[in-house]
Each structure stands twice: as C-alpha cells, then as structure tokens.
Amino acid sequence: MVTYSLKQCADGSWSVCRLGFSLFSDLRLGAAIKLAREVARDEHLRSGRSVCVEMPGVENAIRLAQYARPAKALERAA
C-alpha cells in the first residue's frame, strides 16, 4: 500500500509527504488534507494500487482516506 502522510512543521504549517520526502509544504491543515486526498485518489485511479492518507495522532497514525479496489475486483484479479 502506498501511504501519503501529513507532517507538521516547526512553524505550524503542514507538508504532504511520501516515503519521507516532502511533496508539498507550507500548507494549512485543511489544504494539506484536501491536497493529500486528491493526490492519493489520482494515484489510485491511475495505477490501481491501494493508497491511503495518514496524519500523526497522539499514539498512532490517523487514517484520513483509503483508496482500494473492491474485494470482488481483487478476487477476480487473483
């Protein structure tokens, strides 16, 4: 599964990251969430891979979005 993550910067702004690299930065939280979901959905539609968006929580990551093929499509593909 491909994961896009939101990370808060020291100045309070947010970044959208993948594999630890910042793709977009200096965003407000709402804009970062929206952009990360759009990028994840686009990647899922183009590649067919499962993609999710997460942000840090108090103890664990909080999953904000997940894009995956329906179970029946997965069974047919196998």
Please write the tens of the pLDDT for every residue from 15-73: 999 999 999 999 999 999 999 999 999 999 999 999 999 999 999 999 999 999 765 55
Output the pTM of the full model: 0.84
| Helix (H) or strand (E) run with residue 61 in it | strand 61-67
CB 17 within 8 A of CB 26: no
CB 27 within 8 A of CB 36: no
What is the spatial distance between Cα 73 and Cα 6, in angstroms, rounded to a whole number? 29
What was the pLDDT predicted at 69? 76
Identify the residue with better confidence: 47 or 78.
47
What was the pLDDT predicted at 16? 98
